[in-house]
Chains A and B, each alone.
Chain A
Amino acid sequence: MKKVAIVGMGTTKFKARWVDKTYFELAFDAAKMGMEDAGLGREEIDCAVYGIYNDFFQRQYQPDAFVHDYLGLGLKPMVRVNSGGATGGTALRIGYSEIASGLYDVCLVLGVEKCADCYNYELQTATPEVLRAILYTADMTYDNPAGRTAASGFALAVIAHKEKYGNPTEEQMAKVSVKNHFNATKNPIAQSPQVITVEDVLKSRKIVEPFKFYDNCLYTEGSSAVILASEEMAREITDRPVWITGVGASADYVMPGNRPNIHTFESSRVAARKAFQMGGIQDPLKELDLAELHDAFTGTEIMAYEDCFFCEEGQGGDLIDNGTVMPDGELPVNLSGGLIGCGHAVGATGIMQTYEVALHLRGEAGERQLKNARRGLVQSIGGTLCTWTVCLVLEREE
Chain B
Amino acid sequence: MREEERDKWYQYHNEKFGIPLEYLRREYEEELSGKVPVDAPLEVPDRMDTYYKYSYGQQSRFFRELRENKKIYGAKCPQCEKVYCPPRAHCSLCYKPTEWVPLKGTGVIKACTVQYFTTSAFIKKLPFICAYVQLDGTDFIMMTNMEVEDVSKITVGTRVEAAFRDERRGTITDVYFRPVD
Contacts and interface: CB of A to CB of B under 8 A. Distances in A.
A147 to B, nearest CB: 3
A122 B124 CA distance: 12
A207 B117 CA distance: 5
Given A56-B48, A145-B172, A156 B113 contact: yes
A134 B118 CA distance: 11
Contacts of B118: 128, 131, 147-149, 152
A152 B59 CA distance: 27
Interface stretch (A236-244, A250-258, A301-309): A250-258
Nearest to B146: A146
Interface of B: 19-20, 23-24, 26-27, 41, 43, 46, 48, 56, 59, 84, 86, 92, 111-123, 125, 128, 130, 132, 139-145, 156, 171-173
Contacts of B43: 19
A120 interface: yes
B173 A159 contact: no
A76 interface: no
Interface in A105-128: 120-124, 128
A281 B51 CA distance: 52
A121 B23 contact: yes
A2 interface: no
Contacts of A262: 111, 132
Contacts of A209: 113-116
A208 interface: yes
B113 A152 contact: yes
A141 interface: yes
Interface in A140-186: 141-143, 145-149, 151-152, 155-156, 159-160, 163
A128 B111 contact: no
B34 to A, nearest CB: 19
6 contacts: A131-B118, A132-B119, A134-B119, A148-B143, A206-B116, A207-B115
A208 B115 contact: yes
B141 to A, nearest CB: 5
Chain A interface residue number, banded: 35 or more
B117 to A, nearest CB: 5
A129 interface: yes
Contacts of A207: 115-117
A139 B56 CA distance: 13
B130 A128 contact: no
A151 B139 CA distance: 25
Contact of A120 (B120, B128, B141, B142): B120
Given A132-B119, A147-B115, 14 more contacts: A19-B43, A59-B46, A121-B20, A124-B26, A141-B59, A146-B144, A147-B119, A147-B128, A156-B112, A163-B156, A206-B116, A208-B117, A209-B113, A210-B113
Q: Chain B: interface secondary structure? A: mixed
B103 to A, nearest CB: 14
A33 interface: no
Contacts of A151: 117
- Shortest 5 CB-CB distances between A and B: which pairs? A147-B122, A257-B140, A131-B119, A132-B119, A121-B23
Interface in A258-301: 258, 262
A142 B143 contact: yes
A141 B123 CA distance: 20
A205 interface: yes
A311 interface: no
Nearest to A143: B143
Interface in A215-264: 255-258, 262
Contacts of A142: 86, 142-143, 172
Contacts of B115: 147-149, 152, 207-209
A135 B143 contact: no
Interface in A8-54: 19-20
Contacts of B27: 121
Contact of A145 (B41, B84, B173): B173
A382 B124 CA distance: 27
A156 B111 contact: yes
B131 to A, nearest CB: 8
B145 A258 contact: no
A129 B172 contact: no
A20 B144 CA distance: 41
A148 B143 CA distance: 9
Given A145-B145, A255-B86, A131 B56 contact: no
Contacts of A122: 20, 23
